[in-house]
Amino acid sequence: MRCAVLGDPIAHSLSPVLHRAGYDAVGLDWTYEAHRVAEGGLADFVATLDEAWCGLSLTMPLKREALDLADRVSDAARLAGAANTLLLVDGAVHVDNTDLPGAVSAIRERFESSVTSASILGAGATAASTGLALAELGVTTLQVHARNAERAAPTVAAIGAHPTAPEVTVRGLAEATTGEVVVSTVPAGAQDAATVERTAGAAVVFEVIYDPWPTPLAAAATQRGQVLVTGLDLLVHQAALQFTAFTGHAAPLAEMRAAGEAALVARST
């Protein structure tokens, strides 16, 4: 069987490393590749797939357009307004969002205290899924820091539609963050000294970027002694859920994480 991760850019993705390690651990002779697919190209790619294909992992900029292809949309994908997982089932397309439950697991693995307020840097599809994860964990007030308030509207609407109805406000990227948790979905190059300084008051810094590593925010969090939830934590937990959806096997989480850690070390040397 064949699976793959799609996106643009895609060369940096660790998903092939994680999924292949999972296949090796459970003894599956499956393949998992990375394919660069630009915005607007998902439908054409899916149209070329034959019965050997089982599923796709989706990254930016394809997460929202996946919904338009779906015959079935999971509750998580509908809530987030985005899908990172596409399953091919008897000729039908099913989509899901494992970023949301993956983010919940990633945070809880590192931080068990209550969470009531938070800030998110960035306003794309990943911001929506992590914002919903924060609502699942009990956050009632959330600030979304965006370059463009108008473009943040779908993310704000998605988070606000959570059954707990958290209060969501939009602020500029240069405004102060608040809350126990700060989530960063912005590129490392956008993390200037002022941005890093604004995260100093949080108990938890959740850096969803994993390449390059460490990012300025991650390095500062480590130096300050803040709890750091990493992009690899999120990647492993969401990939484990995808792995089970694709294969029907329980995901070998330890082996997948070890493979990801080794790959990041190799990239940094």
Q: How many CB atoms lie within 10 A of CB 109?
A: 12
Q: How far is 66 from 206, CA to CA, in rounded Å?
A: 26
Q: Is the distance from CB of 203 to CB of 180 less than 8 angstroms?
A: yes
Q: Is the distance from CB of 200 to CB of 219 less than 8 angstroms?
A: no
**How many angstroms separate the Cα of 133 from the Cα of each of 32, 42, 62, 100, 127?**
27, 26, 20, 5, 10
Residue 63 annotated to the active site: yes
- Which tokens hold the place of 43? 């439908």
Give the three-state DSSP class for 103: helix
Give the N- to C-terminal CA distance of the chain in Å, as an integer. 33
Q: How far is 244 from 109, CA to CA, in rounded Å?
A: 19
Catalytic residue among 20, 63, 64, 237: 63
Give the three-state DSSP class for 233: helix
| Positions marked catalytic | 63
